[in-house]
Structure 1
Amino acid sequence: MVAATCLPRDRVATVDLTAPLVLAAMVSGIDPSELRAARERAGLTQHELARLVGAAGGERISRWELGSSEPRADFLVRLAQTLEIPTMRLVRFDGDVADLRALRLGAGLSAVELAAAANLAAPTYYAWEQGRWARLPDRSVIDALGRGLNQPTDTVTAAFAEAQRSRRQHERRAVGTDDQGPT
């Protein structure tokens, strides 16, 4: 095991540098079990659903249902429409509030598409989605994101806070600490 010692204030923790990197922004995503349940409720096979949404085949749907890969945001919208459910029902998120990635997936947009719609640089938006920001952007930027996401400003503001909360929580887990101290 390759390890590094981290010193978060008064604690010392060891981090396994050979472990896969898990980004906080990747906590929200597609809910594989909900996709499978919705497909089964609709009475469709994986191959039938693939044909209806224009996917490469039932194997692709199988990978999405197993969580070994995720559909692009535009496919997520097609899946929800075909299964006659709200898109956000196919999106899972870590906390009680959707983060920026969950809202974007629910809107059926890629990060690049949303950044362009809000007149932002894609790396800037992506950093925000990962919870890497020191202060909220100007109200005009949050309004632009809200328009792109078809969400009210307060929902977008809450999503910013959730992205940052999630990032911090996963950083604590990565160094072996939580709110109560070392694990």
Structure 2
Amino acid sequence: MTERPPLHLFGVGQDTSNAAAPIAAAFDPQAFDPGRLTQARRLSGMTKAALAAQIGVSGAAVSQWEARTSPPRADHLSCLADALDVPVEFFAVGRPFAQLDGSSAHFRSLRSTRASQRAKAVAFVEQAWELTYALEKHVQFPAVDLPGFLPEDIEDHQPATPAAAARALRARWGLGAGPVPHLVRTMEMHGIVTTMVPFAGTDTPTIDAFSTSRMPRPLVVLTPDRGSDVYWHRFTAAHELGHLILHRDAAPGDPEQEREADAFAAEFLTPADQIREDLPVRVDFKALEQISHEWGVSLKSLIYRSRELGTISDASARRAYQRLNNLYELGIIAADPVTNYPGEVPSLLNKAFELAETNGTLTMAGLAREMRWRLPRLRLLLGHPDQRPVLRLV
């Protein structure tokens, strides 16, 4: 196997997993990592009070455990593991742990996302990075190629507008003229870790897509509900790519940032100087549908782009939106799922695992032990759906 180059963790704790021993019944308080308890609790969506009630202790006790004021007893640790659906060893120190501040992630639906849901999403990103780090010890990932992301790649001149930034990135990535055929695969090929799994169960659609560039690798989280329409999904991915380019050091939540990310996505997917000549001068749904398939963008996006570029009037755009909504309601226009387009389904983490497994350096069970996760959790993050039939007792 090719010797792995060192991974610079930018201040993240170093890997000492070989030295860390599983937590035993005679629990050493120094072996307990309070950050792991916080992460597992947030992933479960539990408050400290709810967790305390489930294991029969006071809320103050859980607060003390997470604040490192005092560690839990061995019997409490076992109860925590059961309540949070993790192995007892999950709470051990010694593994790389990149903690992410929730204010460092750009949520597409920030205002409608509850604080507990954002905490769950942030904890998921932490685990996605841990999995990436573990896999990079076995497989060489694509280098990160994102303007301004690496310290040695900070550009002196930032593009003046989101559209200019989109054009600059298309040129940097050598995309040439015309549509971007495999957007998610293109992002992954340039070192951006992308996932699309139901990481928060039924809460996932409410959380919606988000991204962060505050980890050692940029990470974009897409949600399966958006995957029901490949065009919606592609625009969402390009929107999050815009955040990574435009708002690395900006505090998220500003509506103007969302508008800028939309402007970036529109120009990245449909450059104005290329799409303008294709757009009809009046609303023609047959022509727009052909353009939609060619460029990989939705009809709604094309109507907006036509109004934005002045090929149709505001009044024509309003009538077009109404007609489009009717066509969707009648089922004349149906969504095309992303599963029909492999180049739009994230595969970087799963492909990395498969390559390591093929080379004989890693197994699913071995990786789960290294991560101190249960196998279902590992399969979820790798994008392996549980295809077992559901047993229902009537």
Whose strand proportion is higher, 1 or 2? 1
Q: TM-score, normalised by structure 1?
A: 0.35
Which is greater in Rg?
2
- Larger RCO: Structure 1 or Structure 2 (Cα < 8 Å, ≥ 6 residues apart)? 1
